Amino acid sequence: MSKSILEDQTGMPLEANMASNKIIARHIFKDYRTKKKEVRALQDINIEIQDNEFVCIVGPSGCGKSTLLKILAGLDFPTAGEILLNGKTIVGPGEDRGMVFQSYTLFPWMTVEENIKFGLKLRKISAGEIQKIVDSYLKKIHLEEFRKSYPKELSGGMKQRVAIARALANSPEVLLMDEPFGALDPHTKEQMQLLLREIWEVEKPTIVFITHDIDEAIFLANKVYVMSTNPGEIAEEEGIYLPFRREVEMKDSQQFIRLRKKINRILYSDDMTAN
Amino acid sequence: MHKVFKIRGKISKKLYLLIGISSFLLIILLWTIVTGLGLVEPMFLPSPLKVTENFVETVQNGQLLNNAGISIYRIVMGFLLAVIFGVPIGILVGTFKAVEAFIRPLCEFIRYMPVPAFVPLVMVWSGIGEGAKIIIVFLGTFFQLVLMIADDAMSVPDDLLNSSYTLGAKRWTAIRKVLLPSMAPRMMETLRMTIGWAWTYLVVAELVASSSGLGYSILKAQRFFQTEAIFVGILTIGVIGLITDRLFALLIKVMFPWDERNG
Ligand SMILES: Nc1ncnc2c1ncn2[C@@H]1O[C@H](COP(=O)(O)OP(=O)(O)OP(=O)(O)O)[C@@H](O)[C@H]1O
Ligand SMILES: [Mg+2]
């Protein structure tokens, strides 16, 4: 991890400086065969995700975002194409790719603390070490007082914070996030974005984050892939040259507005040509 | 009143209990009036008092407790057997498609065969000893149990299992640490329901092939036109069922404080 590059305050996109590819996907196709017809969910997807990069994938509903993320997680497999993680083909799910889902997936029979411990306890780590990691994440997500609470006692935003902590505590190579804030109200959503970005600015985990919210993508990412639908394709790759330390006010900056317009145009150009 | 009859409106626990008890009292009251006024022949409907007398008498001479004891023993044995085999098989059916393909069609087929029709067959196989009754209870509950437990296992959300994989769980860990605890509350509800059905099958067996048990006591009472003893037998089964159900409910509440449905 070369710190000097990461703390570059000019906000140069990381790929400009770094050569280490964490994930490479080449010519990914995914067809779903149902009884009536064949659906092409993904067509010729090529993406590269560098170490410590925060990548967002935006696209309209049904363009295949979840499908792509599931393939990266190893929970589903492409019809054709190749995906490499650290140069090795992905053959299934594993602890090197943590995931946060849109639906709430905390284990309801475990307390907040036990949920965060789940992955750690599957590995050979001493109890004391585990507790230290868990405590540090409880602090980061501001839920120390809820360590003994069950998920049913938490709000939606709190649940997703625990889910993020649970995934990060396992120190995965990549954190995959599928519209994790999609079900939250706008205010909670903004707080969650700040928290996530803050965590990233400190720890720099590699993140692939899916959303259909353009603002969310620009605010969080260093690089945004824009997807178009029918079939699901990467329409554009957009470097985000905002300052490293993100603040909510940036959403009103000229640069942000320009990016928002540009991505909007790419996303909805199909509609316009259709009219 | 306005609030009480609001659609899906809530009422206090106390009021709920009160209304619940009042329905029992109402029935007993009607029963007392009808028999007290002599509107029905005592042979068809004995008075509550006569039934109580018979109850006290059979408790005192030990017959009732004896019969209840033997019936409970048969239920417990038959049900335990069904649970010991049915639960693991059900979990496998709900977890692996190949096991499902092997077991489900068979279970679906057998569960449509009326269990009472098996009673003669079971008697041919194992006589009228204790084994026969236990086998009937087993046959009555096992196939249903397998299918219901399979549904419980299938109700565990995919994303819960997927989460565990992305946290490093392998197949066996996912089953042990996610599938089982996740389905446990539903499974207990399933057991709570099936043990109720077990009583039906036991009484069928005891009516046909037994010389002890509550079912037998009912049959014997009918032979001697002791309608009040029939009432005692049926009511005793009802009360035991109610107690079992409440125990299960309590157990579920204590075991799964984390469950969403567990207020
Ligand atoms: N298991 C499946 N079987 C058949 N078709 C599927 C399956 N999963 C997804 N699809 C199809 O693939 C396409 C992409 O689905 P996907 O869930 O990846 O979209 P998405 O971009 O995540 O949408 P959203 O933003 O609504 O979550 C859709 O047309 C969907 O109908
Ligand atoms: Mg999706």
Could you tell me if residue A179 is left (phi over 0), alpha (psi between -120 and 50 degrees) or otherwise beta? left
- Measure Cα distances from B250 to B187, B189, B246 in Å: 15, 11, 6
Q: A interface toward B at CB cutoff 8 Å?
A: 73-75, 92-95, 97-99, 101, 103, 105, 107-110, 118-119, 122-123, 150-152, 163, 166-167, 170, 172, 176
- Looking at the DSSP assignment, which residues form a beta bridge with residue A109? none
**Within this chain, do residues B107 and B165 fall inside the same structural domain, yes or no?**
yes
| B36 and B143 together in one domain | no
- pLDDT computed for residue A11 by the predictor: 53
Which amino acid is located at B246 in the chain? R
CB B141 within 8 A of CB B197: yes
User: pLDDT at position A37, please?
Assistant: 87
Predicted pLDDT at A270:
59
Residues B63 and B168 in one domain: yes
Specify whether B89 is located in the same domain as B23. no
CA of A60 to the centre of ligand 2 (A): 10
Strand order in the sheet with A80-85: A38-50, A21-33, A80-85, A88-89
Kindly state whether residues B103 and B60 are assigned to the same domain: yes
Return the higher-pLDDT residue of A11 and A82. Answer: A82
Listed residue (A172, A204, A213) closest to A74, CA to CA? A172
One domain, residues B235 and B179: yes
The pLDDT value recorded for residue B1 is 58
Same domain, B34 and B119: no
- Positive or negative, the Cα torsion across B72, B73, B79, B83? positive
pLDDT by residue, tens only, chain B of 263 residues = 567 788 888 889 999 999 999 999 999 999 999 999 988 888 899 999 999 999 999 999 999 999 999 999 999 999 999 999 999 999 999 999 999 999 999 999 998 898 888 888 888 888 878 889 999 999 999 999 999 999 999 999 999 999 999 999 999 999 999 999 999 999 999 999 999 999 989 998 888 878 899 999 999 999 999 999 999 999 999 999 999 999 999 999 999 999 988 76
Contacts of B250 (CB under 8 A, 6+ apart): none
Distance, C-alpha A242 to centroid of its chain: 18
Same domain, B94 and B178: yes
Q: What is the value of pTM for the model shown?
A: 0.87
pLDDT at B16 (0 to 100): 93
B28 and B92 housed in the same domain: no
What CATH number does residue B172 fall under? 1.10.3720.10
A169-222 pLDDT tens trace: 999 999 999 999 998 899 999 999 999 999 999 999 999 999 999 999 999 999
Residues B200, B100 share a domain: yes
Strands A206-211 and A223-228 come out as unpaired
Do B16 and B106 belong together in one domain? no
Domain count, chain B: 2
Tokens of A48: 């590269």
Based on the fold, state whether residues B105 and B123 are members of the same structural domain.
yes
Say if ligand 1 is within 6 A of residue A183 CB: no
* pLDDT score, position B111: 86
d(CA B229, CA B61): 14
Tell me the chain A residues in contact with residue B255 when contact means C-beta distances shorter than 8 Å.
none
Averaged pLDDT of chain B: 92
CB contact under 8 A, B162 and A166: no
CA nearest to A112 within chain B: B258
Interface predicted TM-score of the whole assembly (ipTM), two decimals = 0.87
Of B157, B167, B259, the CB nearest to A166: B167
Range of the domain at B15: 1-40
> Whole-angstrom Cα distance, residue B176 to residue B158?
15
d(CA A249, CA A261): 17
